Structure 1
Amino acid sequence: MAWLGHVERMDINPSAWKIFESKLVQRTACVGTTGAMRTCPTDTLNVILDLLPIDLLIKYIVSCSAIRLKESNSWLSKPYGHSNTTKFSSDIISVDTDYCTPTLSLSKCFKVIFPSREDWEDDIVSIGFDTTTFTDGLKMECGVGSGIFSESLNVAKSFRLPDFASVFQAELLAIKEACKIVKQNQNGNAAIFTDNQAAVKAIH
């Protein structure tokens, strides 16, 4: 993030020597990789090698770092220094993300079970639970969404997610919302069923 000031100064003074040096290093690497003539424009080489210009790459890395710090509650909003990074990424840093700060939990109030096919055929999976809730997430050409259904709690809900969300995110959101509903409506033993093993292992 320390390079951000140099990038911002380059927007005012394109001949700033530190950025000029960085672009020169990037150009030298591009010429050496492609074997292009020395007269070949740098932008052309970047397009051929699918590279971002060095100033845009720095801004991208700084934006990602700012978002990571903000989501982990480590960002200090100040009108000076590196905190001023948000002036060019305020539209990004203000958006909620699915970043979660890792926490260590030595005790869990839930248990994860992976029933076998025989357990499902014998219909013994849901025995011993006061309520059962089913969740699912899907992604299709028309969009991304999550769904929750519980006959015992009389709940049937669906949620629309942004188009760029993944199936994994949709599955996790469904499980999260199901936990909220179960906690609000019931105090006994509850079972939440999902068909995404990756989501379950990520929680467990």
Structure 2
Amino acid sequence: MQLALDVTSEWCQEKELTINPNKTTLVPFTRRRNVHIGELKLGTVGIEQSEEMKYLGVILDRTLTWNKHLSYVTNKALRMAYACQRLYGKTWGLRPKMMAWSYRTIIVPMVTYGSIVWWPKVDQAKTQLTLNKINRNVCLGVTGALKTCPTAAMEVLTGCTPLHICVKAEAARAALRLPDVPTLKEGNLRGHVRILEIFWDTPSLAVSERMNRKLSFSRNFKVVISDRESWRNDNVVVKQGSQLWFTDGSKLEDGSAGAGIVGPNFQRAVAMGKTATVFQAEVHAIELCARECLRRNVIRADICILSDSQAALKALTSYSFRSRLVWECYEILQALSLRNKLVLVWIPGHEGHEGNERADCLAKRGRHCRLNYHLKKLKLVNNDSCRLCKEGQETAEHILCECPAAYRRRTTYFPQTYGSDSICK
């Protein structure tokens, strides 16, 4: 180690660079009780030896017990919860909705940060009790309940997921983003990615879109991302006579996602289930738009696709691709731009642009089961009666069990069960 430090110091001197040894810490990661390491120097300054260090917001102790880090994030989250408590009373201050919002957007990310490396700690009962203190303070603020009310009951009432479950969920999401996960087999789950053992048989892992990196340095289409001020001042110029297409993606709190596309004599709402993200919905909407143009055999035309997702547009301008969905969308756009002038333009969302608002409405419609009973709740239709028989509410149970207009289809698809109550059960 001293030889490596000497080489580093000599190289820095040669390149006229300096290193601050006071910001360098030596931590021997081992479970041995007696560890003797001689003094190491960076140049002429000795390097401090310590039992722990903070790296990128995560405290690493010598034996990796994570006790120091857990204490650090717990105290930080409790201080935040107490600060929120000073902003409300029984009859004044923050509304319960704002307290719940603060919990989801401030406290949960604060606690789950870096959880991919320390998530095994939450399997300990003592750790779960420590994290429950944070949830309890937040739940009391949201509900205004008596201090004797059980924490589990308040979590059910407020929808606050226990923090030890949130930590594991965030660790699993982080593990899925690792580049080597798509090539792993169940027996290869070691170290931090062991968290995926819990979810190995779920559809979200089976349909992972991660792939080995692909490079492409040619792009036949153009991407334009202007600022909001340019749109407000009408400084964004779209070539006159261009075919205008609007795309959007949306996702509900229950996890259901949808995509919407609006174009010349065309509109479409696409349901994407509960495993897709908003980003994936946005990219998929652009891909479907390009496929529709190819299906129409559009040639020598000016095509402008407007999306309100800068993340999706920037991903398509990259030269390195690890997402299979983004790569397939890129290839479709390349094929469309071979015989057309294609431009992708960012448009600010929810600012009254008609095409974007229509695409957003279609994306929201794609997030739900498209039965009139649900659509009326979303105020997308005025009548919730069955479109087939015009009798009763159009629910899934009505279509499968009661609708007389669907009698023939029920006897076709459920010949053995029709006539009993087993279908509805």
TM range (shorter): 0.5 to 0.7
Q: Which has the higher contact order (CA 8 A, sep 6+)?
A: 1
Q: Which residue of 1 aligns with 2:188?
A: 82
Shift of 1:29: 4.8
Match of 2:316 in 1: 203
| Residue aligning to 1:194 | 307
The one-letter code matched in structure 2 to 1:156 is Q
Measure how far apart 1:140 and its partner are.
4.1
After superposition, the C-alpha distances for 1:88-122 in whole angstroms (9 at most, x for unaligned) are 723357521343544221110110123643245xx
CA distance in 1 between partners of 2:252 and 2:202 (Å): 27
Q: Distance in 1 between matches of 2:128 and 2:299?
A: 59
Aligned to 1:155: 266
1:162-189 per-residue CA deviation (whole Å, 9 max, x = no partner) reads 3464433321121121122222322333
Report how far residue 66 of structure 1 moved: 11
Q: Aligned in 2, Cα 1:155/1:46: closer, same or farther, shift over 3 Å?
A: same
- Aligned partners of 1:70 and 1:93 also within 8 Å: no
Q: Which has the larger radius of gyration?
A: 2
CA deviation digits over 1:27-51, x for unaligned, max 9?
A: x6549966xxxxxx94223442566
Cα 1:30–1:99 change in 2 (3 A) is same
Shift of 1:191: 1.9
The match for 1:145 is 258
1:43 is aligned, of 107, 115, 125, to: 125
Report the count of equivalent residues.
Answer: 155
Q: Within 5 Å, which residues of 2 pair with 1:83-102? A: 89-92=200-203, 95-102=206-213
Structure 2 unmatched runs, 5+ = 1-62, 72-122, 132-162, 318-425
| SS of equivalent to 1:103 | strand
> 222, 226, 246: which is aligned to 1:134?
246
Gaps of 5+ in 1: 1-24, 35-40
CA contact (8 A) 1:133 1:178 kept: yes
Distance (Å, rounded) in 2 between the aligned partners of 1:149 and 1:30: 53
Q: CA shift at 1:158, angstroms?
A: 1.0
Quickly say closer, same or farther: Cα 1:31–1:128, change in 2 above 3 A: closer
Identity rate, percent? 24
**CA separation in 1, counterparts of 2:276 and 2:306?**
22
Going from structure 1 to structure 2, the CA distance change for 1:178 and 1:32 (only over 3 Å counts) comes to: closer
**Counterpart Cα distance in 2 of 1:197 and 1:178:** 17
Structure 2 CA distance, aligned partners of 1:94 and 1:140?
21
